[in-house]
Amino acid sequence: MARPHRKHLLTSVQMARFVAHGAHRIDAVVPAEMNAEAIDVLRAGIPAVPYGTPLSETFEEGSFAQRLVQLPEVAGAIRSFVGPDPTVDHHAVHIRRAHEGSAQNLHGDAIIDVRPDAFDVQLMYYPQEVTLEMGGTLSVPGSHLRRTNESDTGRYQNLRGQTRLVCPAGTVVFLHHGIWHGGRRNDSDTDRYMFKIRFNPTVRQLRLWNTDDLDGPAVAAELGQLFPWYEHATGRLEIYNRVRLWQALIGDQTYDPDYWVTRVTNRPTRVVAPRSLNPHAPAPAQESA
């Protein structure tokens, strides 16, 4: 893939928001003519590829899927998240039939992946306008760094602050691989289509975006966001986890605006000679210079 122009890369504030929320949404980024083409393409299916296929080799030249990932804003987001030359974990077409009558349980994808300093992203493309009646994808902002077994969250029916996607046609959403989500029931008269691609990085995810605003106060504000479902105490662990991830992404282990990490990693190495309980004991020998 061609290198995206700098103006299409994400900003530091957008990256920090992704680290906090676990998602990045671009409304109506796919042109109307491509959306009109998409349903027939997705209905026919897109050929699968083996795990680890380079993105540059995944889709046929000039195909709908290749044109999708080469759209400037889409390509810029991919580059910002996983860098140049990512590989494709898998891709799939998801169809939620009209009046299907069932919904997907809340879950996290590949939750055995517990890397604290790296992540995969999933692109989700919606070729149609998605209304509330059509269901949309439910997700829980800020859940992506909360470690659970894949389907443990399926017992939960509703969490405060969860979102159900309602969007215009041509919307693309990028999700952290760990975010809790699930496809909702489609109560409309129209089949709902979604195309998903999961990308794996092949380079260290270090300052891959436009870092011009890296030192601005808005970055720390994004990283410090709380969400309604967080517990008063345990919810603070989410901030700790996202600061650790941000440290890895910027290559600076000292970044810690509110000292969440500093407090729990404080292990001084200077040793002070202990005082003897015997007041007549000789003073410890001084180290020679």
Q: Which letter does DSSP use for residue 249 in this model?
A: H
What does the pLDDT profile of the chain (289 residues) look like in tens digits?
677 888 999 999 999 999 999 999 999 999 999 999 999 999 999 999 999 999 999 999 999 999 999 999 999 999 999 999 999 999 999 999 999 888 888 888 766 777 888 899 999 999 999 999 998 899 999 999 987 765 677 777 788 999 999 999 999 999 999 999 988 899 999 999 999 999 999 999 999 999 999 999 999 999 999 999 999 888 888 999 999 999 999 999 999 998 889 988 888 899 988 766 666 666 666 655 5
Contact 139, 162 (CB under 8 A): yes
DSSP string, 113-141: ---SS---EEEEEE-S-B-GGG--EEE-T
Rounded to whole angstroms, the Cα distance separating 74 from 103 reads: 28
Domains of the chain and CATH, by start: 6-200 (2.60.120.620)
pTM of the model: 0.90
Tokens for 102, please give them. 């069932």
Rounded to whole angstroms, the Cα distance separating 218 from 214 reads: 9
> For the CA atoms of 241, 242, 243, 247, what is the dihedral angle to 10 degrees?
100
